[in-house]
Every structure is written in structure tokens, then in C-alpha cells.
Amino acid sequence: MRRFGSFTTAILLSLSAFVSLHAEVNWIGRMDKGLAQAKSLGKPIFVDIMAPWCGYCRKMRQEVFPSKRFQDMAETFVFIRVNAEEDISIRKFNVQGFPTLLMLDKNGYLISRIDGFVEVDRLVSTMKDALLRANTEDRLVRETREKPGIQSSYKAGLYYASVEDQVKARGHFLAAWEAGRAGKDRTSLDSLYNAAVSSMELKDYGAAVKLWSDYLQNYPGRDSDFAYARYFRALSLRSMGQNAQAKDDLAYAANYLPEGEDKQSARRMARVN
């Protein structure tokens, strides 16, 4: 007996399973793993930051994320879901409540966010808008080539600093400083400050000391930025084991930093020295 009906049903079931498999959002449970995958694939990132006790997080998982409109976005993003009580890497996004939904570019640069529960129509609309703005890196790099100067290099530096690529950040900040140093433009001075910070992040303390010294030599005032530059130069010197050379900077910072932890730290180190 020829059983076309059963054979056809089997094919339809197989096709249905295939379509379902490829349309389903695949959630990655760790930020570092998701970021690595996004960079490899060149895709933007959708992050669901949740807490196990959060009722609205559960509502998102039950009502919004399973919807066809959301699932249709499966191929356009890398999807990450993290428990805020376990993953400390999300602290830099200043999460105040749950759920917090982030849309990042492939390097982890924040494009858009939604705080709290959201209906699927608004969520998908925000995701589509984020897709249009996910080429931030390419746009900024193109601007540095087509319109070289202080502003384009400074914006590129801020971008790379925000995604913790300190090598590229420092390069762009130094380009901005060189472009404006003759006139001591404030943005170029800020770029020099940031280049010194990037050097400290890279643990290139010798470069940091030189950049802080250049900043202090060129900075026109004696405000808190000047005091912080001396404090950070002292920290860089101490990281190189040059505690004696850091003494004067620590004494200055102890007197002129704004009240707070850094000033207290400067006072403690100045006493030790």
C-alpha cells in the first residue's frame, strides 16, 4: 500500500522542525563568551540582564521573548542572558533595576537600552533602530580618515576606551593631542589626559608618567584636573617602584584633591613615604 499521507506528514514535520530550529533565539549565558562570538561574527549584541526573583523578567521570558516578532530577529543579533547577581561585568552599564535590556555593537559599545518590562512592538522597533546604528566603529574610523583632526580622533578614542580597547584608544587620543597641541585646545588636552589613563590601564607606566608630565606642563590651571594628574602620575611612579619620586605629587594631591577616597588614599601614601 502506498502511504503518501504519512510520508507527506513526515516531510512537513521535518520542515517544521528545521524552520523552528533556525528561527529560535539562542541565549548565551556569559558576557565574555557572547562578546567573543559577536566580534567573530560581526553582529550586534542583545543583552537581557535579569535576576531570578524578578517577576517582570519572568514575564519577558514567558510573553515577549517567545513571540514570533522577537524570534524573527534571531539571525541579526548575538543574544546574551546574564544573572545580575552572578556576573559583575555588567556593573559598568549602571544597572538600576530588572529587566535591563541592552543593545550593543559587536565590540560591546552601548547603542540603546530599555529599563524595565517592555511590550514586543516597542522592543522590536528599538532593536531595528539599534541595527541601523550598529556600525559605530566603521563610521568613526572613516571620519578619522576623511576628516582628520581633534574631534574625529577624540571621538574614536572615547569609543575604543568605552569598549576597553586601550591600545586603539590611546592611539586616537594621542592623534587628537598632536592635532591640537599648538593651540592647547581643551579637547586636545582632554585627549592627552585620556591617553595617560589608557597607558595606566595598559600597565605602561613609563609612558603614563611621560604623558602626565606633558599634561601638567601644558595645563593652564590649578584645579581638580591638575591635582588628579599629579595623583595619577604618583600612582604610575609607585607602580614602577619609584616611591621617592612620587612624594611631591602625593603631597600635592593630599592637599588639593576634592574630598573623597582618592584624597584619603593620597594622604595615606604620603604618610608612608
Residues in the chain: 273
Taking all residues of the chain, what is their mean pLDDT, rounded to a whole number? 91
Reported confidence tier of residue 158, pLDDT bands at 50, 70, 90: very high
87-112 pLDDT, tens digit per residue, is 888 989 999 999 999 999 999 999 99
List of residues 6+ apart from 44 with CB closer than 8 A: 38, 76, 77, 78, 103, 104, 105, 106, 111, 130, 131, 134
By C-alpha distance, which of 81, 63, 82 is closest to 25? 81
Bigger pLDDT: 227 vs 6: 227
What is the mean predicted confidence (pLDDT) over 138-142? 95
Domain boundaries, the chain: 25-134, 148-272
**Domain 25-134 fold:** Glutaredoxin (3.40.30)
Q: In this predicted structure, what is the pLDDT of residue 74?
A: 92
Do domains 25-134 and 148-272 share one topology? The answer is: no
Q: In this predicted structure, what is the pLDDT of residue 198?
A: 98
Assigned CATH for 148-272: 1.25.40.10
Q: In this predicted structure, what is the pLDDT of residue 181?
A: 82
C-alpha cell at 271: 604618610
CA distance 238 to 134: 41
Percent of the chain with pLDDT over 70: 90
CA distance 93 to 121: 24
Q: CB pairs under 8 A, 24+ apart, for 193-197?
A: 193/225, 193/229, 194/157, 194/158, 194/161, 194/169, 195/157, 195/169, 195/170, 196/229, 196/232, 197/161, 197/232
pLDDT at 164 over 70: yes
Among 8-17, 150-159, 160-169, 220-229, the least confident range: 8-17
Beta bridge partners, 133, equal none
